[in-house]
Amino acid sequence: MARVYISSVINAPAAKVWEYVRDFNGLPKWHPRIRDSRIEDALPSDKVGCIRNFHLQNGDALREQLLGLSDYDMFYTYAILDSPMPLTDYISTLRLTPITDGERCFGEWSAEFSCDPANEADLVTGVGTNVFQGGFDALKRHFGN
């Protein structure tokens, strides 16, 4: 099982960042690699079980299912259902934690998945750099870091 873990500090209160990222259908609003997104079957984007269908800027299509969401603990967990990446059993969590020393928050984005060992290093680097760190970098720019 491959694992990816990226963390970052965002100079904004966790509740404010969570308000910005909690919409499971809102990736195009804040992540630069996402072109568009829609929730299938017109379900609410915070309904556990809903599926987001989205496109990357390069046109690749993905489908992900919301497995859990907590406003109290400021996290959501999701699974990839369909992806052009050569992986399976992908489960990921985006979590925010308040930093009590200042108006900042600690962001963690992690994933586990199965893949061919020959592809593991590239997938771990790609997901960690392009998806997770790319998202955190965009959030830091948005909140003035």
What count of Cα atoms within 13 Å lies in the side-chain half-sphere of residue 95?
14
Q: Determine the average pLDDT of the residues in 35-53.
A: 97
Mean pLDDT for the chain?
Answer: 96
Has residue 131 got a pLDDT over 90?
yes
Question: In what helix (H) or strand (E) does residue 124 lie, and over which residues does it extend?
Answer: helix 117-126
Task: Count Cβ atoms below 10 Å from residue 90 Cβ, excluding itself.
Answer: 21
Domain 2-142: homologous superfamily in CATH? START domain (3.30.530.20)
Has residue 44 got a pLDDT over 80?
yes
Q: What is the pLDDT of residue 144?
A: 84
Has residue 48 got a pLDDT over 90?
yes
In whole angstroms, what is the distance from residue 124 CA to residue 51 CA? 24
Has residue 145 got a pLDDT over 90?
no
